[in-house]
């Protein structure tokens, strides 16, 4: 298990994992949280009638992962493995860095309690106060990946 600073990983490592849960839609839609979204979970500046190409959706995904990684790196104070990186960025991409920076998950990770941090992934499966099966599946996959050597 090789540990590195979260900010040193290549964002492309997270693309496959995140895109497998986000899927790609080339027309704007409202996600389960009621936010206008397009491509692979891109939300910045999206309006109701927006459309994009698959290439644009992929470029936005890379940019969004880079932004998430950069923001999250300010709050992760311990080195992480590649799998932990992908799981953390996937979670932060989905729920927002703001939600993660105030979480028990981050406190446990930064204190060295990796197993405890992994269990906290499972608590992020609500959208608008409702438990969603898709989010439960995603959190379980993030949890399992986080613990994988």
In whole angstroms, give the CA distance from residue 145 to residue 82: 10
Tokens 């899927």 identify what position? Answer: 23
In whole angstroms, give the CA distance from residue 32 to residue 51: 19
In whole angstroms, give the CA distance from residue 94 to residue 101: 13
Contact yes or no for 125/143 (Cβ under 8 A): no
> So which residues are the catalytic ones?
22, 31
Contact yes or no for 80/4 (Cβ under 8 A): yes
Question: Of 100, 34, 33, 89, whose CA–CA distance to 64 is shortest?
Answer: 89
């Amino acid at each position: 298990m090789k540990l590195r600073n979260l900010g040193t990983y290549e964002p492309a490592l997270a693309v496959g994992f995140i895109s497998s849960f986000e899927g790609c839609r080339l027309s704007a839609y409202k996600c389960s949280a009621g936010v206008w979204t397009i491509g692979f979970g891109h939300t910045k500046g999206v309006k109701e009638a927006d459309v994009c190409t698959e290439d644009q959706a992929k470029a936005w995904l890379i940019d969004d992962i880079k932004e998430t990684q950069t923001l999250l790196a300010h709050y992760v104070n311990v080195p992480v493995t590649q799998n932990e990186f992908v799981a953390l960025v996937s979670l932060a991409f989905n729920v927002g860095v703001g939600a993660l920076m105030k979480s028990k998950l981050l406190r446990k990770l930064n204190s060295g309690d990796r197993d405890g941090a992994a269990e906290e992934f499972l608590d992020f499966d609500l959208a608008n106060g409702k438990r969603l099966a898709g989010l439960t599946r995603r959190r379980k996959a993030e949890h399992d990946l986080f613990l994988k050597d």
